[in-house]
Amino acid sequence: MAADSGRIDPMHQFEVQSFGTLFHVGGHSIDFTNSALWMCVTVVALWAFMLGGLRGQVVPGRWQMAVESATRFIDNMLAANVGPQGRRYVPYVFSLFMFILFANILGLLPLGVVGVHPFTFTSHFTITGVLAIMSFSIVLVVGFWRHGLHFFSLFVPHGTPVLLLPLIPPIEFVSFMVRPFSLALRLFVAMTAGHVLLEVLSGFVINSGNAGLGFGLGVGIPSFVLMIGICALELLVSAIQAYVFALLTSLYINDAVNLH
């Protein structure tokens, strides 16, 4: 939180800060940043979650049931959207879903009270864009590997009138190429908006408390109560956005596999 004469900058929390240069490539320095740090934290937390839940106990505990339930959830999603062949894509979609989910939730933890400031890297379009390009690349590779040039028939829906053939394929192609952009933008906007709103409300709480008892009671307390509700909503949004990203990825994979 950046404060200057009582003003709070809600965008300061998204600033990428360097902890040092790792190496140089082509005259450009590759730094280890707070974004990279929290990606590592997310990977470690996810690894610990999976390690603790893959004990293979005959009578599973709550931890193992949580891991198995998450895996089954993604497996059922791909089975419903792709069919029997969707099972081979479970590892990727599961990893994508859990990585985004953990990243979103870790970014909401109130660790600032102990001097640690979480960084929600999914609030940066460069990160969500890379995740979207990865999914889109898999769709292209699978589509051309399975169908060859017949993959282009995806841009000509079944039953398209002959008179519309010059018009429909370009529209379908543009719609297809926009997919990674919309996939990345949806997650980026949702996470950025939520964090900006929380920062603004926290500014109301702090500044109204500093302004006196009247402002504290009239503005600070309602803002604090609203913050609690927004935090609960953000937890829900974090899960929904991870789910939507995984769901759309499975739908795009379905297009590549089944040419629907």
Task: Give pLDDT tens digits for 164-204.
Answer: 778 888 998 999 999 999 999 999 999 998 888 888 887 77
Residue 212: pLDDT above 80? no
pLDDT at 128 over 60: yes
- Residue pLDDT, tens place only, 37-84: 999 999 999 999 988 777 766 667 788 888 889 999 999 999 999 988
Chain-centre distance of CA 84, in angstroms?
26
**Residues of the chain with pLDDT > 90: what percent?**
42
Q: Which residues pair with 2 in a beta bridge?
A: 9
Q: State how far the Cα of 113 lies from the Cα of 44, in Å rounded to an integer.
A: 22
Cβ contacts of residue 65 below 8 Å, gap of 6+? 53
Query: Would the pLDDT of 132 be above 50?
Result: yes
Mean per-residue pLDDT over the chain, rounded: 86
Q: What is the CA radius of gyration of the chain?
A: 23
3-state class of 210 per DSSP? helix
Give 133-149 pLDDT, tens digit per residue.
999 999 999 999 998 88
Q: How far apart are CA 57 and CA 142, in angstroms?
A: 36
Q: Band of the pLDDT at 260, cuts 50, 70, 90?
A: low
Residue 3 pLDDT > 60: no
Q: Where do the H-state alpha helices sit in the chain?
A: 34-53, 62-81, 90-106, 125-147, 168-211, 213-215, 221-258
Q: 11 by DSSP, 3-state: which?
A: coil
Q: Is the pLDDT of residue 4 over 70?
A: no
Torsion of CA 113, 37, 235, 231, to 10 degrees: 30
Tell me the three-class secondary structure of 95-130, residue by residue: HHHHHHHHHHHHCCCCHHHHCCCCCCHHHCHHHHHH
pTM here? 0.88
Lowest mean pLDDT: which of 29-33, 99-103, 132-136? 29-33
Look at residue 140 in the predicted model and tell me its pLDDT. 94
Q: Confidence class of residue 115 from pLDDT cuts 50, 70 and 90?
A: confident
Count CA within 13 A, CB hemisphere, residue 18: 7
Which has the closest alpha carbon to 246: 93, 138, 133, 69?
93
